[in-house]
């Protein structure tokens, strides 16, 4: 899509900072379990135009948090950690789920053979 920008964990913060510099609004982030990878889509409102940064990464790979640039992102990043067991630097488990809740309830389950 024309409003999608693919990023890597190495350039994520640099790309997010560009939105902050333009005073774009961080809207939300969406996580999708692709099976062998997770994808987080960061949604930004740039002068009434929705632009998405797409980051794909291995489930056991740690990615940076964008909360240092957009502090409100810590809440949705915490939700992504709880529901998908994503590894996001500085964001721990327990934002929304209780300690006795199922681990990563929104991750795809692998078939047991």
Query: What is the token pair recorded at 75?
Result: 């809440």
Residue 56 lies in a domain: yes
pLDDT of residue 66 exceeding 70? yes
Alpha-carbon dihedral of residues 62, 95, 73, 39, nearest 10 degrees? 40
Q: Which residues contact 21 (CB under 8 A, 6 or more apart)?
A: none
The model carries a pTM of 0.92
With respect to residue 95, please indicate whether it lies within any of the assigned structural domains. no
Cα–Cα–Cα angle for 54, 59, 62, rounded to 5 degrees: 80
- Does any domain span residue 33? yes
pLDDT at residue 113, as a whole number: 44
What is the reported pLDDT for 110? 63
Domain of residue 8, residue span: 4-88
Q: Does residue 94 have a pLDDT over 90? A: no
Residue 1: the pLDDT is 61
Cα 68–32–65 angle (5° rounding)?
10
Nearest CA to 84 out of 31, 30, 16, 7 is that of 31
């Amino acid at each position: 899509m024309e409003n999608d920008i693919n990023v890597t964990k190495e350039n994520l913060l640099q790309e997010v900072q560009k939105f902050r510099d333009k005073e774009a609004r961080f809207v939300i982030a969406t996580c999708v379990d692709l099976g062998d990878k997770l994808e987080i889509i960061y949604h930004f409102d740039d002068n009434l135009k929705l632009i998405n940064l797409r980051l794909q990464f291995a489930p056991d790979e740690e990615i940076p948090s964008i909360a240092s640039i957009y502090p409100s992102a810590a809440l949705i990043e915490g939700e992504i950690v709880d529901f998908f067991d994503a590894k996001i630097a500085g964001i721990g488990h327990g934002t929304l789920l209780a300690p006795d809740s199922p681990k990563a309830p929104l991750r795809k389950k692998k078939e047991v053979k």
